[in-house]
Chains A and B, each alone.
Chain A
Amino acid sequence: MRDVRDALYVARNTDGKLVRRPMSPHLQIWRWPIAMAVSITHRVTGVGLGIGTLLLTWWLVAAATSDAAFDFIQWFLGTPIGIFVLFCWTLSLLLHLCSGIRHLAWDAGFGFEPQAYRLTSWIVYAVGIAATVLIWIVGLVIW
């Protein structure tokens, strides 16, 4: 028993035998309240956007390098895979932005009541998805 957290799980049952105490239910056991979903979405999209900066870096470096390099990434972004990646990137950015604005509101002391919490959770998803669709309609019209 090297880990102190493991040691805390050891107890005696009614027979006096040493047993490992059960853990509380883990993530997959709980019902998914909307607030939990938004919180997890915020983290997942945050990490996703971190990976997405590779794409931004590639785009900017290509634009600084040569016509051929830039034409290649513009071609890649027009392929089905490129479009899929860009769409996920836009959606992640908008969801993270909306959820982030809600975080700022919390930091200012607003929106902690359970009802407001649930309502703003739905608003984060609705605005994030609607704005993504809107941006893509505008983008495709320009294209």
Chain B
Amino acid sequence: MSDTSRSPRVDMRRSPLGRARGLGAAHSGSATWWAHTLSSIALVPLTLWFICGMVRMVGASRDDVVAWLSRPLPLVLMLVLLLMTFHHMKLGLETVVEDYIHQPVARLTMLLSIKAVTLLLGLACIVSVLRIGL
């Protein structure tokens, strides 16, 4: 008896396997949070570059935009910005829906819509930029 009182004891209703996995009720780990954080780190400099680019495009003609995005560096930066933006946006909007929408049908509908809309908008942007720049 004195032996067991001295040894450390875990007083929780979880299986050892469950504790080792450490995933909890959400059934997934920190992958989503990590992806969100990484994309936000990338987006800090990219957004600053994007703002500078957009300010220069105030009142621009279509030829100005084509000339800008035809240069390799702006083209690549714009593509990375779009990839990161739509990835970050998908994760963010999904988090908001998961937090506030509890009704199962509405929740699933909105989560699937977010995936579809972000994919479609993102691809539309990327194809457009490639058409302008290439």
Contact = CB atoms under 8 A, between A and B. Distances in A.
Classify the secondary structure of A's interface with B: helix
A87 B60 CA distance: 18
**Which interface residue of B43, B51, B85, B89 has the most chain A CB atoms within 10 A?**
B51
Interface string B34-66: 000100110110010001000110111110011
B55 A142 contact: yes
Contacts of A133: none
A138 B37 CA distance: 31
B127 interface: yes
B93 interface: yes
B125 A139 contact: no
A23 interface: no
A63 interface: yes
Contacts of B56: 142
A101 B44 contact: yes
Nearest to A58: B124
Contacts of A103: 40
By size class, the interface of chain A is: 20 to 34
A90 B41 CA distance: 19
B92 interface: yes
Contacts of B43: 97, 100
A119 B56 CA distance: 33
Contact of B60 (A46, A67, A74): A74
A50 interface: yes
Contacts of B96: 43, 46-47
A64 B92 contact: no
The 6 A-B residue pairs whose C-beta atoms are closest, nearest first, are A64-B128, A60-B128, A70-B62, A64-B131, A63-B65, A61-B128
Given A49-B89, A101-B44, A107-B37, A60 B58 contact: no
B121 interface: yes
Contacts of A90: 51
Nearest to A101: B44
A54 interface: yes
A104 B131 contact: no
